[in-house]
Amino acid sequence: MNNEDKFDAIIVGAGPAGSACAYTLAKEGKSVLIIERGDTPGSKNVTGGRLYTYALEMLDKGLYEGAALERKVTHEQIMMLSGDRAINIDFHNPSYNETQKAPMSYTVLRAAFDEWLASKAEERGAMLVCGIKVDELIEQNNKIVGVIAGEDEMYADIVIAADGVNSFMAQKAGLSGDIAAEAVGVGVKEVIKLPARIIEQRFNLKEDEGAARMLLGCTEGIHGGGFLYTNQDSISLGAVFMPEEVGHKKQSVHEIFQELKMHPSIYQLIEGGETIEYSAHLVPETGFRGISKKLYREGFLIVGDAAGFVINTGYSIRGIDLAIVSGIAAARAVISASNGAETGPLYLKELHDMRLLPTMKAVDGFSDILETPWIYDKVPNLINDVFDSLFTVDGEVPISIKKSVMKLIKENGLSLWQLIKFGIKGVRSL
Ligand SMILES: Cc1cc2nc3c(=O)[nH]c(=O)nc-3n(C[C@H](O)[C@H](O)[C@H](O)COP(=O)(O)OP(=O)(O)OC[C@H]3O[C@@H](n4cnc5c(N)ncnc54)[C@H](O)[C@@H]3O)c2cc1C
């Protein structure tokens, strides 16, 4: 091998983490090779999905303006389903688009978004090869010095694992083991095509506005939830389930998801649409406490989902923005390390300075709340029951609201004390 065959950095995976890293390195004149196993970037990737724009702004000011984005999210919604009933909370804030320099978040379709972001990295000078799977890491004197893909060996000063959840590269580097079933959720998703005008009518949206909706009570009591995002002319509808709990149920994930599609409050939104994409993917679920114990070794860094950088608060899921931020952090560390410092500790410092690790730590308490099993069925049931009783007028003398709520709490197999304890736990963990 001569020096011309050697890159400053090899990045495994052209998801948002890999492309953001490549973009930042190439912009600083580094020679970068991104290797992607999919035929195109994003072809194998799944997301809900919504992207928080600040991450693109960190990559380059104004970059979001030409990005492959769908609709500005101005409607934040939470829907609780029970039987054929549903309550939808719709928080509409049109000034998300006016008071901030960039709208706060957009819905995205990953095939288009990932391809666009990778093309931006290429424009900056990164080399992208698709349709090639990296099989092995090359190690010399306890340092990672390159990768093997099929018959080919490629060398670099640093290899960056941006290969997503259950990172094979991190396992090969000895930084993580096999993924535990309780550490991930399995997500299923359909993209359903509908004319833009119909989507706008059904969701009460202006032309470029979009809605992001989280769904509770649609997983047959399994730890998990659903999501729905409005794209330009399609709807992304999906659900995430904890795989170890699915095994104990009579219904498969596919059957539960079909029931969700048929729920009267969901069906009326997708009716007449054509499913143009069906996908399934794992998503890290353990938040701050699930981050890889070691994020680097000599010649090697882990970014994005491979490192466990995902936040799930129940009312929003963030992984794409954290993938982008961690990709930039890794690139900045590599650039600073060119001056003689050690890359790994610099990477950790960047993750702190760019607020990724402090943010994940700050919302870590949500994991405790989401572990409470009855919030996935009894709570949405109870809330729907309470609304049912509030709006029922049948000529009978109504019982007091207080008595009615106490009765419904009991009927749902809960106690006031349980709810108070949950409230205290919730307040403490936030
Ligand atoms: C159902 C679901 C819903 C979600 N919803 C949202 C949401 O709404 N908003 C949000 O911000 N996040 C969401 N997430 C999380 C988000 O999708 C991830 O956090 C994000 O995609 C991580 O980006 P990444 O670049 O780290 O990894 P990925 O996007 O997984 O990219 C990894 C890339 O590496 C490639 N690769 C893997 N192994 C190899 C190999 N050996 N050789 C070459 N290439 C390889 C893959 O093909 C892929 O392109 C969701 C996830 C799921 C599953």
Q: What is the pLDDT of residue 425?
A: 80
Predicted confidence (pLDDT) at residue 90 exceeds the cutoff of 60 = yes
Could you count the other beta carbons within 10 Å of the beta carbon of residue 139? 17
Predicted confidence (pLDDT) at residue 113 exceeds the cutoff of 50 = yes
Whole-number Å distance between alpha carbons of 276 and 197: 18
281 CA closest ligand 1 atom index = 53
Whole-number Å distance between alpha carbons of 211 and 230: 6
Whole-number Å distance between alpha carbons of 65 and 377: 41
Whole-number Å distance between alpha carbons of 35 and 12: 5
Mode of pairing for the β-strands spanning 274-284 and 143-149: unpaired
Q: What is the pLDDT of residue 99?
A: 56
Q: Which pair of structure tokens corresponds to residue 237?
A: 């509808």
Please, which residues have CB within 8 angstroms of residue 318's CB and are 6 or more apart in sequence? 52, 310, 311, 312
Could you tell me the pTM of the whole model? 0.94
Residue carrying structure tokens 């990778």: 118
Specify whether the CB–CB gap between 361 and 62 falls below 8 A.
no
Q: What is the pLDDT of residue 98?
A: 59
Q: Which pair of structure tokens corresponds to residue 261?
A: 């599609």
Q: What is the phi-psi region of residue 265: left when phi exceeds 0, alpha when psi lies from -120 to 50, beta otherwise?
A: alpha
Q: What is the pLDDT of residue 247?
A: 77
Average pLDDT over residues 88-106: 81
Domains and CATH numbers, the chain: 3-70+108-176+292-354 (3.50.50.60), 182-284 (3.30.9.90), 368-429 (no CATH)
DSSP 398: P
Average pLDDT over residues 85-113: 86
Average pLDDT over residues 78-106: 86
Mode of pairing for the β-strands spanning 143-149 and 152-161: antiparallel
Give me ligand 1 centre to Cα 15, in Å.
6
Question: Which residues have any ligand 1 atom within 6 Å of their CB?
Answer: 12-18, 35-38, 44-51, 133-134, 162-164, 168, 187, 189, 238, 240, 281, 283, 304-306, 310, 317-321, 323
Q: Which pair of structure tokens corresponds to residue 335?
A: 């650039």
Q: For 176-195, how does the pLDDT look when each residue is reduced to its tens digit (9 = 90+)?
A: 888 788 888 899 999 999 99
Residue carrying structure tokens 């380059």: 60
Of the given ranges (44-53, 72-81, 130-139, 330-339), which has the lowest mean pLDDT? Answer: 44-53
Predicted confidence (pLDDT) at residue 1 exceeds the cutoff of 50 = no
Chain mean pLDDT for the chain: 92
Average pLDDT over residues 310-317: 89
Amino acid at 200: E
